[in-house]
Structure 1
Amino acid sequence: MRAFCTTFAALAVAFPAVAAPKLQAWVTTGDKRQLLAEQRASRAVSARDVADLPVIAVDAKERHQSIVGFGASITDSSAWLIQNKLNAAQRDALLRELFGRANGGLGFSFARVTIGASDFSLDHYSLDDTPNGAPDPKLEHFSLKRPEQYVFPTVRAALRINPDLKVMHSPWSAPAWMKTTGSLVQGELKPEAYPVYADFFARYIKGAAKLGVPADYLSIQNEPDFEPDSYPGMRWKPEDRARFFGENLAPVFQREKIATKVLDWDHNWDKPDQPMTVLADAKARAFLAGVAWHCYAGDVSAQAPVTAAHPDKEVFLTECSGGEWAPKFDDSFSWMMENLIIGSTRGGSRGVLMWNLALDEKFGPHKGGCSDCRPLVTIDSQTGAITRTQEYYAFGHASRFVKPGATRIGSPARVGDLRTVAFQNPDGRRVLLVLNIGAGAADFAISDGVSQFKASLPARSAGTFTW
């Protein structure tokens, strides 16, 4: 017996007990008492210890889309503020906070830039403005001078911090001389301008690449079912977009050996029939990589039927803005978490983008359009001081922890007042995002089929849990 015990003790030294897995958590509460605040780590417990708790079951065998990332648009206004209202040290610190991962950085890995002006520009312009609006079929007036002033340097700085950053590009309007109105404001693309507009996109993508700015994704028109009356915009019907994709853009991209992935729609959840119409066209469908969505009308559930009908196409949420129409932190934080971070990714999105990365204390500068859109960060135009908004914290709950290349895995959409989405990072680490929409605190269990953890969230709060 003594010999057996001696042998067992020796085996115990040779094969030490494996420590129970550890759960780490970060929480943001609607009352702002906690803002991405790290919680005390906890060890796994036995199934008996959580027998009376509602369970969020995470299933790593159920695999969905891979993740490109989370981020925001580096608009003209954002870039101008970053380059002109921050000194070099402030600028570097902010970009490292937003695009880096060290020291609690958000690790943004997805960004969007405008091709020409939007409402968040200091003035209205295109990349091919001509004297008196004269036609320019050979694109002799094409120039990247404007984005090279502020936007492209900001993108390059972000890329130096995060080389994994993927960049999407979207125009608000074709050059005025291509349009029925002869203006950047309102109108449609003239049918005879389709060939030269395809050349325009090729010229832009290749020119941006030479300046160190990749074009990983492209949409051909921001919000093609809307003609704003105070800033650049252009209506583009789905049948006509399909024709442009198949008959104009696809041949030019093939000729120029351009590998940029092209997305249709880039507009709201309320009209899923529009991208479905485009994808019903065989030539367009063969060319397109996927569909981009905005949040301003309709419901996030609109993504699912389109995704189900075209499972081979990528899905992105490419624009949403907070604003003073929803000023309360708890309300807008909860909405962003439920609809964008959780709802959109559960609806197939590989990436999620907010609108302006940065604006000033007056929600600008802007030229027409939205006068009270809220950015992720506010830059004080006098001091350079940074204020982080509720959107910053909502996106941080995903971007800090869900790495590029992560896979969405199984978890329940709802457990009582809890809303969830789960991911597995390339290194195998699991990430579970949970939103408690309830008026009271919630205790629950997290189980991945092997380990169980006890967890809790205060009322009106969100947590990111990793193990």
Structure 2
Amino acid sequence: MMAIRLSLFAVLLSFMACTKAPEVKLISSTDKNPWVEKELAKPSADDLPQVVVNIDTNKQEQTITGFGGCFNEMGWEALNMVTPEEKQQLLNDLFNSETGCKFNLCRMPVGANDYAVDWYSHNETEGDFAMANFSIDRDRQRLVPYIKEAQKINPEIRVWASPWCPPSWMKHNKHYACRADANQNDLAPELSSTEELVSRFITEPEYFQAYALYFSKFVKAYAGEGIKIEAVHVQNEPNSAQNFPSCVWKPQDLGILIADYLAPQFQKDSIDAEIWLGTVERPQIERVDDVLQYKNTMDYVKGVGFQWAGKGAIESVHAKYPDMQLMQTETECGDGSNDWKAAEYTFSLMKHYFENGTNAYMYWNMILDETGKSQWGWKQNSMISIDSNTKKIKYNPEFYLMKHLSAFVQPGNVKLAADGDTGNVLVFFDEAAQQVIVLAYNEKDENSLLTLNINNKPVQTELIAKSFNTLVVSI
């Protein structure tokens, strides 16, 4: 068996020697040894598990628009715990277009989200339908400087925004939360509800009109800070009644907001920010249809964003609306474990979303303190953790996993359809550079042998156990 195996490998090497050998860059990460540039490795044994992937660069699917995370207030607070030099290094590691993750497309909240320091909106003056008291002064403390620091590193970074909650006076219960929680908010129990498909927003014309104006003023105010808002997603998780800032919407009411108020307001005010339906967190395509099929909403919605259980809807939405831009808007953020198991799960999400048409992939909290705890009591993962006591910086496994894609797959690249043993492989193509980018995860507790047949030309290497690997193959 050993002789046959070595003979076959010799034949493969002989074939490769007779053709132009592709140039290959290989980066490998394990839990204990991340981000190591390696040489292609010959098989070290004759019984390695085989992974064979066939790649045809003509089998092109969706175009990739980018990768990123969310600018959150608590991330900025964590960043400011370290020295200026360390802070600059952290920002470079996320946004530098040569050595970092090369993040180019990032999210921000409109008003408070669950990782804000506390609740606020940009206008808490009840009855101010003219938005005379609209202000982003609060954002100038944290979010604006956070984004501006990223812009210094990558001036081309694109920012999109979504509200978790409108001004509280626009809701029936006059409170930022939908669900009462005696430990985390002061919402009266009688005003609490977890019912879905019933709008908590006051669906009267003057409220719709004021909210459309609120969005418009937000985009204009950020333009005044030198920050272009590329798109707004009209509501974070419109089906989720949370103990933190949230607002449940009936889908048809979101259609009314978009088609009858928001789009006309943007046109009136010459706002060129795109309007997206997001962020969808339920698996039922009917809830997407009920928004998009309202009157002429489809004329205005440029894309649909999905997160959490929304992953169950993306396949059917992509099939029904094949020309619609799709985004994974918030990778599932775990429970603060920040471990290898979390990275493995995130890889499975990446695989699912990209195989079902997504054009962009967002992490959630890029940076948090060591607790990962929000002001409303729950823990989440982050790419980077900073210990609030020792100020020690830790790059978590998901940092490296994100970088395994974002540092190599650039806007304008396309996803390729591959066949063979593709269960733990994603393939992309940079046509301009004539490079195939492969992210391969070896889930096994032993090394495996990966063979890539790219346009019928083989590239082969041994992958170490429990590792994420990016191969950049120049063809």
| TM superposition score normalised by structure 1 | 0.86
Partner of 1:216, secondary structure, is strand
Partner of 1:97: 93
Partner of 2:200: 188
Contact 1:334 1:461 in 2 (8 A): no
Which deviates further from its counterpart, 231-240 or 182-191? 182-191
Contact 1:301 1:347 in 2 (8 A): no
Q: Deviations over 1:240-294 (max 9, x none)?
A: 1011111111111111121212211303252332112212224111110111011
Instruction: Select which of 265, 279, 303 maps to 2:278.
Output: 265
Q: CA deviation at 1:315?
A: 0.2
Contact 2:430 2:436 in 1 (8 A): yes
Amino acid at match of 1:191: T
Cα distance in 2 for partners of 1:34, 1:88 equals 27
Contact 1:166 1:216 in 2 (8 A): yes
Contact 1:55 1:444 in 2 (8 A): yes
Matched, 1:343 2:349: no
Q: CA deviation at 1:416?
A: 6.8
Amino acid at match of 2:333: G
Task: Specify whether residues 245 and 417 from structure 1 end up closer, same or farther in structure 2 by C-alpha distance, changes over 3 A only.
Answer: closer
Cα distance in 1 for partners of 2:466, 2:313 equals 25
Cα distance in 2 for partners of 1:426, 1:175 equals 46
Partner of 1:331: 341
Partner of 2:442: 436
Task: Specify whether residues 158 and 426 from structure 1 end up closer, same or farther in structure 2 by C-alpha distance, changes over 3 A only.
Answer: farther
Amino acid at match of 1:334: E
Partner of 2:376: 368
* Residue ranges of structure 2 left out of the alignment (5+ in a row): 1-17, 43-48, 179-198
Amino acid at match of 1:438: K
Task: Specify whether residues 118 and 417 from structure 1 end up closer, same or farther in structure 2 by C-alpha distance, changes over 3 A only.
Answer: closer
Cα distance in 1 for partners of 2:84, 2:427 equals 38
Which deviates further from its counterpart, 197-206 or 147-156? 147-156
Cα distance in 2 for partners of 1:346, 1:338 equals 11
Q: CA deviation at 1:24?
A: 1.3
Partner of 2:27: 26
Q: Deviations over 1:13-63 (max 9, x none)?
A: xxxx9852121111122xx133122111579xxxxxxxx965311221122
What does residue range 29-108 of structure 1 map to in structure 2 within 5 Å?
Answer: 29=30, 32-41=31-40, 54-82=51-79, 84-102=80-98, 104-108=99-103
Q: CA deviation at 1:426?
A: 4.0
Contact 1:67 1:351 in 2 (8 A): yes
Partner of 1:5: none
Contact 1:22 1:42 in 2 (8 A): no
What does residue range 222-233 of structure 1 map to in structure 2 within 5 Å?
Answer: 222-229=236-243, 231-233=244-246
Cα distance in 2 for partners of 1:243, 1:407 equals 35
Contact 1:338 1:435 in 2 (8 A): no
Contact 1:402 1:425 in 2 (8 A): no
Q: CA deviation at 1:335?
A: 1.2
Matched, 1:110 2:105: yes
What does residue range 271-310 of structure 1 map to in structure 2 within 5 Å?
Answer: 271-295=284-308, 297=309, 300=311, 302-310=313-321
Matched, 1:423 2:418: no
Contact 1:403 1:426 in 2 (8 A): no
Contact 1:56 1:446 in 2 (8 A): yes
Matched, 1:164 2:160: no
Contact 1:417 1:438 in 2 (8 A): no
Amino acid at match of 1:376: M
Cα distance in 1 for partners of 2:22, 2:171 equals 61
Cα distance in 2 for partners of 1:178, 1:59 equals 53
Cα distance in 1 for partners of 2:212, 2:360 equals 26
Partner of 1:242: 255
Amino acid at match of 1:378: S
Contact 1:98 1:108 in 2 (8 A): yes
Which deviates further from its counterpart, 159-168 or 243-252? 159-168
Partner of 1:354: 363
Task: Specify whether residues 260 and 339 from structure 1 end up closer, same or farther in structure 2 by C-alpha distance, changes over 3 A only.
Answer: same
Cα distance in 2 for partners of 1:65, 1:127 equals 37
Amino acid at match of 1:56: V
Partner of 2:46: none
Contact 1:407 1:424 in 2 (8 A): yes
Contact 2:66 2:360 in 1 (8 A): yes
Amino acid at match of 1:234: C
Cα distance in 2 for partners of 1:353, 1:54 equals 28
Amino acid at match of 1:338: S
Q: CA deviation at 1:377?
A: 0.6
Q: CA deviation at 1:168?
A: 1.3
Q: CA deviation at 1:461?
A: 2.2
* Residue ranges of structure 1 left out of the alignment (5+ in a row): 1-16, 44-51
Partner of 1:411, secondary structure, is strand
Partner of 2:176, secondary structure, is coil
Partner of 2:134: 142
> RMSD across aligned C-alpha pairs, in angstroms?
2.2
Partner of 1:375, secondary structure, is coil
Task: Specify whether residues 391 and 305 from structure 1 end up closer, same or farther in structure 2 by C-alpha distance, changes over 3 A only.
Answer: same
Q: CA deviation at 1:119?
A: 1.4
What does residue range 302-321 of structure 1 map to in structure 2 within 5 Å?
Answer: 302-321=313-332
Cα distance in 2 for partners of 1:343, 1:38 equals 27
Cα distance in 2 for partners of 1:301, 1:39 equals 37
Contact 1:124 1:367 in 2 (8 A): no
| TM superposition score normalised by structure 2 | 0.85
Cα distance in 2 for partners of 1:24, 1:94 equals 25
Partner of 2:121: 126
Cα distance in 2 for partners of 1:282, 1:22 equals 53
Contact 2:60 2:415 in 1 (8 A): yes
Which deviates further from its counterpart, 142-151 or 157-166? 157-166
Contact 2:275 2:301 in 1 (8 A): yes
Cα distance in 2 for partners of 1:435, 1:282 equals 45
What percent identity do the matched residue pairs reach?
Answer: 25
